[in-house]
Structure 1
Amino acid sequence: MRTRAFFAVAASGLLAALLATPPATGWAPMTPAGSPVVRPAIARTEQITPVTAEPTTVPLPVKATDGRTHLVYELELTNMSTLPATLTAVRVTAGEGTLEELSGARLLRVFRPSGAPAEQPARDTVLQPGRQGRVWLDVLVPAGTAFPITLAHAVSVTYPEALGIIPKTMTENVAPLGVPDRRPVVLRPPLAGGGWLDANGCCATITAHRSAASPVDGRSRFGERFAIDFVRLDHGTVLFDGPPDQVGSYPYYGTPVRAAADGRIVSVTDEYPDKKPGSATPDMPLAQYAGNNVVQQLASGEYVLYAHLKPGSTRVLAGSTVKAGEVLGALGSSGNSDAPHLHFEVMSATSPFTSEGLPFVFSSFELEGTVTPNAFDDALASGSGSITVTPAREDRDRTREMPLYLDVLRFPRTA
């Protein structure tokens, strides 16, 4: 935390010197021989930014089932001043166009101060002195945009009062970010058939995956940024049939999980029991959170995690190579799992805790419909296990698109 005394010294010393207007004819320090060295005047374009900002990753453009191209990343903000800073707006631009403008309720929905539960909405957008916060961004790019592009961020902040060279209200231009002309990896679905629900995926809603920052080995990374928890609605509506605290009540338990691409198996873990659905997560070592799992390296360099597999179900060995569609194991509920599901994600490294989550698209699938965010709670409360699905407006095959949170999908039987 910066103290008032420290910041005052900085403002009156280094910053004052940096912001001083140079003579019009340039400045002329003396060489050891006494001859002046003449240099042209340097235009001073520095801006004091008491709230510093850093993007967490370089986003890749990914097309989703809403037909739009998404840039998904987070902006980490730190209040370096000695006064509380209220964030009033965040604007993302590319060239002359505004891609995203967040203020009021929309900004509050995607802002969290450090230390606050990520899934719990913030009460305000105040960053206390020395405090860090994050803004989760899902920037939509207009159709026909040519990449690469450069994003710019304008962060508007107010303080209780002016402090030295810091005005009471200001807009900072921060964190320029280049977006490369790259596309996400194309995968085959790891599951087959219809009724597969994206129960915890990307992008606009700050789900448990979207919000998960892993503070491991001295850094925080967002390995689950695009991760999906797949559960299946049997007969199109039924999540479970029987006691909801039994894995056997979920008809899709034990469904084959298949390789999403050709690749090499990096690691296999198959030693943990299923966790009882709905039970509290016990204290467990970090390595057990993914439960029984398979990590696969793709030829293009990315890694795919297939997690929470059924005990004793894995069919591959570390170091072996597999073809797309080959069975790796069976869907289970091991590790940190509330109910049987397949946790599926693409990563930049071999571990979900030390990697950045990367976008991906599936080669082919159908969008059957969507469900509401409270569908799971309603199914549990009623005891019926039934979930209402709103049919999709378009009944068409999807190619090279990413599913969105609460989508219900039909994958090819040959997946």
Structure 2
Amino acid sequence: MLHLPKAVRHLACAVLICLSAPAVAQQREPVLQSFDLQVPWRPQPINIDGKQQLIYELHLRSFAREVLTLKRLRIVDRTTGATLDDLQGAALQAVIGRPDLVTKDPQQLPPGSQAMIYLSLPFTLKEADTLSHIVDFDTADSAQLRHASIEGARIVVNQPTRPLLLGPPFRDGMWTAIYDASWPRGHRRVLYAVDGAVHIPGRFAIDWIKVDRKGRYVHGDADKAKDWLGYGADVLAVTDGVIASARDDMQENPSVLANARNKVPLEQASGNYVTIDLGDGRHVFYEHLKPGSVRVKPGDRVRRGQVIGQLGYTGESTGPHLHLHVADANSPLNAEGVPYAFEQFHVLGAYPSIDSFGKSEPWQISPDKDNNRQRATLPAPLAVVEFPAMP
């Protein structure tokens, strides 16, 4: 019989006990396939109606095998932990866009589908410069409803070295700033993927339409361009710069209403246009200009206040107006819209809704007549403004 040392016998017994004991499974949280979160365009603060905002888009794409239902979105300051915005229910649904057009319910994302969340946050640089996004969602996995949450798409807010301030685009008159971030087909929610990447060139675009004190934008027949108050108005260079591109060979439809129903190719959507290179990678676009009115060509140097063309309705246009925006490249579609502001303008009033404007109802006069001169900002949506006279 083999006699082992006592210490060795104890070690052997311990090994046998361990081998004979049932293995205890380590508890783990279930792992779920869900969303890819991206913020392709890093936002910069912008001033609108005298208030600083952060305007950008959160892209979501589902990689799950079942339908995911968005329930809540929180944007948090990673430095302090403070919540900058908390969206759920109707507030969340209102800011969701669905380029995939897969489901009627914008909060339900089937496998492979995608959504855009259009964010507009009251913001100051003192609050945060690094943001993160927390998405709560429901998933029905094997008929079992689960609630889950993910965090991602961290971004560092760009702090512009200097604000881009523009001068008046017109000499005189009362002009309505036509835009709104909530419109499904407004500039903010129109995406273009024409060269291997998706862009929103009109993120901060405004359509300018001239009105009178009674709220009318047409005197006469709305189907005739010459009867629109702004048609043929001189369009001015908003700052010094170099003409980067120009087009003046597109004709207008004899009928304004027929032109509004006319779907034009993407390359003609801007109509006749002028682009001014402002330097620092920024370009200002003037679109839908009157045929034969463009007075500049690529390479020309222009001065602030110089006439560069006249307001028209060429291209994809529902009526005579000036489309104006600033982007980071010399391309009407393949560029990102970037913030800008006007040096100054006078707020006369505003339309209560786009329906009110469309019906030519009187706009509401600003109640604060002594404090409605705005500086270094964009006007509020549907505001009626007057720019200072050019010398």
Matches of 1:162 and 1:181 in 2, distance apart?
Answer: 47
Q: Which entry has the higher C-alpha Rg, 1 or 2?
A: 2
Q: How many residues align?
A: 358
Secondary structure of the residue that 2:208 maps to in structure 1? strand
1:131 corresponds to: 113
Matches of 2:378 and 2:357 in 1, distance apart?
Answer: 22
187, 202, 208: which one aligns with 1:230 = 208
Give the structure-2-normalised TM-score.
0.85
1:191 corresponds to: 170
2:281 corresponds to: 301
Offset at residue 373 of structure 1 (A): 2.2
Please list the CA deviations of residues 349-385 of structure 1 after superposition, one character each: whole Å capped at 9, or x if unmatched. Answer: 11121000111100010111111121244x2xxxxxx
Matches of 2:200 and 2:165 in 1, distance apart?
Answer: 21
Matches of 1:245 and 1:361 in 2, distance apart?
Answer: 33
1:374 corresponds to: 355
1:159 corresponds to: 139
2:333 corresponds to: 353
**Contact 2:167–2:238 (8 Å) recurs in 1:** yes
Distance 1:271 1:147, change over 3 A: farther
Q: Which amino acid aligns with 2:89?
A: G
Secondary structure of the residue that 1:335 maps to in structure 2? coil
Matches of 1:100 and 1:393 in 2, distance apart?
Answer: 30
2:58 corresponds to: 75
Secondary structure of the residue that 1:180 maps to in structure 2? coil
**Contact 1:162–1:168 (8 Å) recurs in 2:** no
**Contact 2:174–2:210 (8 Å) recurs in 1:** yes
Distance 1:392 1:56, change over 3 A: farther
**Contact 1:62–1:71 (8 Å) recurs in 2:** yes
Matches of 2:242 and 2:32 in 1, distance apart?
Answer: 49
**Contact 1:92–1:152 (8 Å) recurs in 2:** yes
1:338 corresponds to: 318
251, 263, 281: which one aligns with 2:241 = 263
2:12 corresponds to: none
More divergent stretch after superposition (85-94 vs 280-289):
280-289
More divergent stretch after superposition (246-255 vs 146-155):
146-155
Ranges of 4+ aligned residues in structure 1 off by more than 4 Å: 204-207
Matches of 1:244 and 1:125 in 2, distance apart?
Answer: 40
Offset at residue 231 of structure 1 (A): 0.2
1:141 corresponds to: 123
Matches of 1:209 and 1:258 in 2, distance apart?
Answer: 22
Distance 1:236 1:364, change over 3 A: farther
Q: Which amino acid aligns with 1:248?
A: K
Distance 1:269 1:87, change over 3 A: same
Query: Is 1:387 the equivalent of 2:370?
Result: no
Distance 1:333 1:194, change over 3 A: same
Please list the CA deviations of residues 165-194 of structure 1 after superposition, one character each: whole Å capped at 9, or x if unmatched. Answer: x98111111101100221541111212334
Matches of 1:178 and 1:261 in 2, distance apart?
Answer: 30
Query: Is 1:170 the equivalent of 2:148?
Result: yes
Please list the CA deviations of residues 224-247 of structure 1 after superposition, one character each: whole Å capped at 9, or x if unmatched. Answer: 111110001123521111111110
Distance 1:311 1:325, change over 3 A: same
Offset at residue 217 of structure 1 (A): 1.5
Secondary structure of the residue that 2:333 maps to in structure 1? coil
1:181 corresponds to: 159
1:93 corresponds to: 76
Question: Any residues of structure 2 matched to 1:1-150 within 5 Å, and which?
Answer: 50-65=34-49, 67-94=50-77, 95-116=80-101, 123-142=105-124, 145-146=125-126, 149-150=129-130
Q: Percent identity?
A: 30
Offset at residue 140 of structure 1 (A): 1.1
Q: Give the root-mean-square deviation of aligned CA atoms.
A: 2.6
Offset at residue 283 of structure 1 (A): 4.2
Matches of 1:363 and 1:223 in 2, distance apart?
Answer: 22
Please list the CA deviations of residues 210-233 of structure 1 after superposition, one character each: whole Å capped at 9, or x if unmatched. Answer: 111012112211001111100011
Please list the CA deviations of residues 122-144 of structure 1 after superposition, one character each: whole Å capped at 9, or x if unmatched. Answer: 634101111111111111115xx
2:232 corresponds to: 254
Q: Which amino acid aligns with 1:374?
A: D
Gaps of 5+ in 1: 1-19, 22-46, 380-385
Matches of 1:398 and 1:249 in 2, distance apart?
Answer: 30
Secondary structure of the residue that 1:340 maps to in structure 2? coil
Matches of 2:168 and 2:182 in 1, distance apart?
Answer: 22
**Contact 1:272–1:291 (8 Å) recurs in 2:** yes
**Contact 2:345–2:388 (8 Å) recurs in 1:** yes
Query: Is 1:364 the equivalent of 2:344?
Result: yes
